Amino acid sequence: MSAPRARFTLVPLALSGALLVSACAGVGGGAGNDDSGGDAGGGGALSGTPSGSLKIMGFGGEDEVGQSRVKAFTSAYPEVKVAQNKGEFDAQQFLTAVSSGNPPDLVYMDRNLIGTYAAKEVVQPLTDCVEGQDIDTGQYRPAAMRSVTYDDVVYGIPEFYIVQTNLIDAKSLKAAGVDPKAIQTQDWDALDRTATQLFEKSGTKIGRVGYDPKLPDSFPLWALINGAELVKEDGSPNLNDPKAVEALAYATSLVEKQGGWTSFKAFRDSFDIFGDSNPLTKGTITAFPMENWYVNVLRDSIPAGLQLTATPITDREGETVSTLGGSTWAIPKGAKNPTAACAWMKTMTSTETWLKAAEARMAKVKEDKSFFTGLFTANTAADEQIREKYLTAAPDAGFDTAINAFYDTLDKATALNPSPAGAEIDAAWKSAVARTLGGQDAKASLDQAQKEATTAFEKARRG
Amino acid sequence: MAEALVGAPAVARESRRRRFGGGFGGRSGGRASEGRAALLFISPWIFGFVVFTAGPMLVSLVLSFTDYSLVGDTEGVGTANYRELLSDPRVAQSLSNTFIYAALFVPLGTVVALGLAMLLARVGRASGFFRTAFYLPEMTPAVAAGALFLLLLNGQSGLVNAVLGWFGIDGPNWTTDPAWLKPSLAMVSLWSMGGTIVIYLAALKNVPRQLHEAAMLDGAGPVRRFFHVTLPMISGAVFFTVITNTIAALQMFDQAYTMFYGPQQSETASDESLVYMVYLFQNAFQFFKMGFASAMAWLLFVIILVITVVQLKVGNRLVHYEGEGR
């Protein structure tokens, strides 16, 4: 904080400045001028060959997988001038653009936001787009489509597909004389014993975490493992489901038995996730549930001594489960060139384009003298063809195990149901988990979260 | 004699009137002309104030009675947002956190800044270097400072605890233990006390040396001279910084947000670190409850206004103003 700098600034000023700008710009945003040179304008069937300019927000796409697909689109539609606003999706920037009547033609965001934005009518239904550009929605994984569907209407075209499995530091496990099969989520008592056995501490300093349940962000995973559905099919919150309460209490107890939350988090905060000092290479965490993209990061740590292995995450019946994440394309309300946006979505997620992306990734892998760790998309056919064509045995057996574990999880993953109060529900359960980790009873925390989320849901439902 | 004294200002006024053109348009014409010139000179400020301060404040006041959410229809909701301020437990929690933080930071900041200013006042050689060095942190972006202190204050591997360990002290988990979050924030805020130090330094330089000399002749030691000479003489500066630092503390946002609510931290943030402005920001730009956020802003505005008025009332009794005979 800069005290003197803030001297004569009164609180409402910062906020009200932004509000004035927004307010002066008008609420709602009109359709604007149609910049589409294609056969259809906003609200039409969105068929035909697109032209004109295409303004995109939230898509970085700097790597070879992104660039090769952008190239696929620009080659197919040279008449379209693509303007990318590089950088991650920024909700504030996006909503301000929409409300000021100057939205992008296309936006790239997390799929879990679609419900909220669909309910607020910030993104358009894609019924015309799917029909006009003849997009085969059957090519996408059902779980991904479910997460971009709100009130039985499709609002997004899914892109990547993020699932989780247990990644394990095999070296530490072997040294401790523990079988990799002990890293499992079916038998909670056994996992508790394994985690405690692997945990190391010297005085108040943690030396190694046996099993990191990855709270708070993996709370939905623990709820899923225990059979709880945090968001019901109608989008209403179900955060204090007894099974969810039990899951949170258990996952929190794992943390408590491994140094307690304050030390545990401080220890975790010190990790270098992306470098050679990552926790699995350094032996500071023996195992944790992790996402598929991380294998590609870990690949570079083999020379540093990483010995990786993996086991599936299962529910308490022993069935493989995973939460599901990933991104989606959507067309904002008032987009000026929806035809081009629609063509972009189709091209970027088609099987043919994904194969080109895999080809680009293989070229990069060859250049780096490394190996391919898979490409996980929401397109079933693309994934199968890429796996068959490009995925060969990794020079490291542990990596093979991990990659195969992720592939085996793809069809078992489920996302939280879309909700008009998705953002508030997310915030509510995250706060609840933080409170529980801070010492509050799990039930009391989730009861409070349920109350907050229900209020938000009812308000969102009323519109 | 008395008549001469009374007449002197009138002579001076007449002299000024002649010099600045009053002789051409008469007294009233001159005043009008001066008024127009003054208005012209301050018009950029007036424009800025109306467009960027008063106008937006009025808009936010109006919005606080609506359900404005950036998108969709906006409807009036009466006093619902203000009633929600009372019923939302996180408003009370964030206010409480903010008050505790301010209560820690303002006295601590004042003492530390004054101590450093007194040291700087004594530096002879290389005084420019030291003054620059102490002011430099003020130029560091708060986000960078927040990220830096997250590393320094890490309870398991941070430098602060490592140094404490040399003296046999087992440091706490500064950034993760709910009991230490607000003290940590106050400590981090001390990093950018450069502005306050400069104000104190200027005030210290203005304390007449003869007062210290007289006190020394009367046998006063350094401590006595500080409390009976230095402190009263710089009390105006101290009072000013206490007021402004209190306002700044109640508006604290950047470091709390960087340390506990950034992209990598938000999911693990404890309610103990939720300061009022962060919660206001969350409502405005994460939950898009602009109407409610506006009501929150106005509540804080009123709170700050009340605290400042109380400080002024109390402070005026304690502050020594030179030449006012208090």
Given an 8 Å threshold on Cβ–Cβ distance, is B277 in contact with A11? Answer: yes
Whole-number mean pLDDT of chain B? 86
Nearest CA in chain A to B298: A12
Greatest Cα pair distance, chain B, in angstroms, is 82
Per CB-CB distance under 8 Å, the chain A contacts of B176 are: 261-263, 265-266, 269
Answer whether residue A37 shows pLDDT above 90: no
Cross-chain residue pair A27–B269, CB shorter than 8 Å = no
Contact A10, B304 (CB under 8 A): yes
ipTM of predicted assembly, 2 dp:
0.73
- B250 or B147, greater pLDDT: B250
Q: Which contacts of A366-371 are long-range, i.e. CB under 8 A and separated by 24 or more positions? A: A370/A299, A370/A300, A371/A299, A371/A395, A371/A399
Write the residue in A3, A98, A122 that is nearest to B196 by C-beta. Answer: A3
A69 neighbors A347 (Cβ within 8 angstroms): yes
Using an 8 Å CB-CB cutoff, list chain A residues near B156: 205-206, 263, 266-267, 269-270
- Helices A11-25, B290-318: axis angle to 10 degrees equals 150
Of the two residues A286 and B1, the one the predictor is more confident about is A286
Instruction: Give the minimum alpha-carbon distance from A463 to chain B in angstroms, rounded to a whole number.
Output: 9
Q: Are B304 and A11 an interchain contact pair (Cβ–Cβ within 8 Å)?
A: yes
Distance CA A449, CA A237 (A): 9
For chain B, domains (ranges, CATH) are 2-63 (no CATH), 84-318 (1.10.3720.10)
Interface of B with A in 120-159 (CB under 8 A): 138, 142, 150, 154-158
Q: What is the dihedral of CA B156, B158, B159, B162, to 10 degrees?
A: 0
Residue from B65, B143, B253, B268 to probe the interface with A (highest A Cβ count within 10 Å) = B268
Which of A354, A411, A365, A413 lies closest to A392, judged by CA?
A365
Q: What is the pLDDT of residue A5?
A: 38
- Candidate from A15, A27, A98 with C-beta closest to B280: A15
Chain B nearest C-alpha distance from A145 (Å): 25
pLDDT, tens only, B223-270: 999 999 999 999 999 999 999 999 999 999 988 898 888 766 656 677
Task: Return the C-alpha torsion angle B199, B202, B206, B211, nearest 10.
Answer: 70
Residues in chain B closer than 8 A to A12 (CB atoms): 56-57, 60-61, 294, 297-298, 300-301
Using one digit for the tens of pLDDT, what is the confidence trace for A158-203?
A: 999 999 999 999 999 999 999 999 999 999 999 999 999 999 998 8
pLDDT band at B5 (very low <50, low <70, confident <90, very high): very low
Q: Where are the domains of chain A?
A: 29-159+327-357, 164-324+415-462
For domain A29-159+327-357, give the CATH number: 3.40.190.10
| Residue A46 Cα, gap to closest chain B Cα (Å) | 24
Q: From B180, B184, B201, B23, select the one nearest B114 (Cα to Cα).
A: B201
Amino acid at the residue A436: T
Which residues does residue B98 pair with via DSSP β-bridges, in sequence order?
none
| B-chain residues near A267 (CB < 8 A) | 156-157
B110 touches chain A (CB under 8 A): no
Domains A29-159+327-357 and A164-324+415-462 share a fold: yes
Q: Which residues of A fall within a CB distance of 8 Å from B193? A: 3
**Number of residues in chain B:** 326
Testing the interface with A: which of B93, B175, B176 to mutate, by most A Cβ within 10 A? B176
| Residues linked to residue A149 through DSSP beta bridges, in sequence order | A154
Is pLDDT of A24 > 50? no
Mean pLDDT of B89-118: 95
Of the candidates A277, A251, A300, the one whose C-alpha atom is nearest the C-alpha of residue A399 is A300
Task: Tell whether the model's pLDDT for residue A31 goes beyond 70.
Answer: no
Shortest distance, CA A83 to any CA of chain B (angstroms): 24
Class of domain A164-324+415-462: alpha beta
Q: With 50 as the cut, is the pLDDT of residue A6 above it?
A: no
Whether residue A17 and residue B56 make contact (CB cut-off 8 A), yes or no, is yes
Express each pLDDT in B22-64 by its tens digit: 444 456 667 888 889 999 999 999 999 999 999 999 999 999 9
The neighbouring-strand residues paired with A165 are A290
Q: Is the pLDDT of residue B101 over 90?
A: yes
Structure tokens at B4: 């001469």
Residue B177 touches partner A, C-beta closer than 8 Å: yes
- Mean pLDDT for the stretch of residues A344-355: 95
Mean pLDDT on A209-216: 94
User: How much is the pLDDT for B28?
Assistant: 64
Q: Give CA–CA dist A310/A164, Å, rounded.
A: 11
Measured between CB atoms, which of A11, A98, A265 is closest to B268? A265
Please tell me the predicted confidence (pLDDT) of residue B6: 41
On whether any CB of chain A is under 8 Å from the CB of B102, the answer is no
Say yes or no to pLDDT of A13 above 70: no
Residues of chain A found within 8 Å of residue B177, distances taken between Cβ atoms: 262
Residue scoring higher pLDDT (B258 or A73): A73
Of A1, A7, A203, the CB nearest to B252: A1
Structure confidence by residue, pLDDT tens digits, B194-229? 999 999 999 999 999 999 999 999 998 999 999 999
| Mean pLDDT for the stretch of residues A291-314 | 92
The pLDDT value given to residue B145: 86
Q: From CA A29, how far away is CA B153, in angstroms rounded?
A: 46
**Average pLDDT, stretch A30-42?**
42
Chain B contact set for A19 (CB, 8 A):
56, 59-60, 63, 68, 290, 294
For residue A40, what pLDDT is reported?
Answer: 39
Mean pLDDT on A254-270:
92
CB A382 within 8 A of CB A351: yes
Encode burial over B190-206: b for 16+ CB neighbours within 10 A, e otherwise: bbbbbbbbbbbbebbee
The full 3-state SS of chain A, as one line of letters, equals CCCHHHCCCCHHHHHHHHHHHHHHHCCCCCCCCCCCCCCCCCCCCCCCCCCEEEEEECCCCCCHHHHHHHHHHHHHCCCEEEEEECCCCCHHHHHHHHHCCCCCCEEEEEHHHHHHHHHCCCECCCHHHHHHCCCCHHHECHHHHHHCEECCEECCEECECECEEEEEEHHHHHHCCCCHHHCCCCCHHHHHHHHHHHCEEECCEEEEEEECCCCCCCHHHHHHHCCCCCECCCCCECCCCHHHHHHHHHHHHHHHCCCCHHHHHHHHHCCCCCCCCCHHHHCCEEEEEEECHHHHHHHHHCCCCCCEEEECCECCCCCECEECECEEEECECCCCCHHHHHHHHHHHCCHHHHHHHHHHHHHHHHHCCCCCCCCCECEHHHHHHHHHHHCCCCCCHHHHHHHHHHHHHHHHEECCCCCCCHHHHHHHHHHHHHHHHCCCCHHHHHHHHHHHHHHHHHHHHHC
Q: Is the pLDDT of residue A320 over 80?
A: yes
- Which one of A5, A7, A15 makes the best mutation probe of the B interface by having the most chain B beta carbons within 10 Å? A15
Residue range A107-112: average pLDDT? Answer: 93
| pTM of structure | 0.78
Average of pLDDT values for A312-325?
95
Scanning every residue of chain A, which has its alpha carbon at the shortest distance from the alpha carbon of B48? Answer: A17
Beta carbons of B73 and A430 less than 8 Å apart: no
Between residues A120 and A187, the one the model is more confident about: A187
H-type alpha helices, B88-193 = 89-122, 127-139, 142-152, 159-166, 181-190
Between CA A452 and CA B89 the distance in angstroms is: 10
At a CB cut-off of 8 Å and minimum separation 6, what does A453 contact?
A237, A239, A421, A424, A425, A428, A429
Contacts of B108 in chain A (CB under 8 A): none
CA pair distance A422, A417, nearest whole angstrom = 9
Cβ distance B57 to A11 less than 8 Å, yes or no, reads no
- Whether residue A216 is preceded by a cis peptide bond, meaning omega within 30 degrees of 0, is yes
Question: Is A269's CB within 8 Å of B176's CB?
Answer: yes
Who contacts A140 (Cβ-Cβ below 8 Å, separation ≥6)? A157, A158, A349, A378, A379, A380
pLDDT at A321 over 70: yes
Report how far residue A148's alpha carbon sits from residue A158's, in angstroms, rounded to the nearest whole number. 7
Interchain CB contact of B95 with A (< 8 Å): no
pLDDT of residue B138: 85
Looking at the complex, report in whole angstroms how far the Cα of residue A430 sits from the nearest Cα belonging to chain B. 6
Structure confidence at residue B285 as a pLDDT band (50, 70, 90): confident
Number of CB atoms found within 10 A of residue B214's CB: 13
pLDDT of B13 over the 80 cut: no
- Which of B173, B245, B301 shows the shortest C-beta gap to A266? B173
Q: A13 contacts in B (CB within 8 Å)?
A: 52-53, 56-57
Q: Tokens 């929150």 map to which residue?
A: B296
Whether residue B10 has pLDDT greater than 70 = no
Q: Which residue of B has its CA nearest to A103?
A: B71
At B264 the pLDDT is 60
Contact A354, A335 (CB under 8 A): no
Put simply, the chain B residues between 212 and 271 with a CB less than 8 A from any chain A CB are 241, 244-245, 247-255, 266-271
Q: Check the CA dihedral B85-B86-B87-B88 and report its sign.
A: positive
Are A3 and B157 in contact (CB < 8 Å)?
A: no
Instruction: Band the pLDDT of B11: cuts 50, 70, 90.
Output: very low
CB atoms A438 and B241 under 8 Å: no
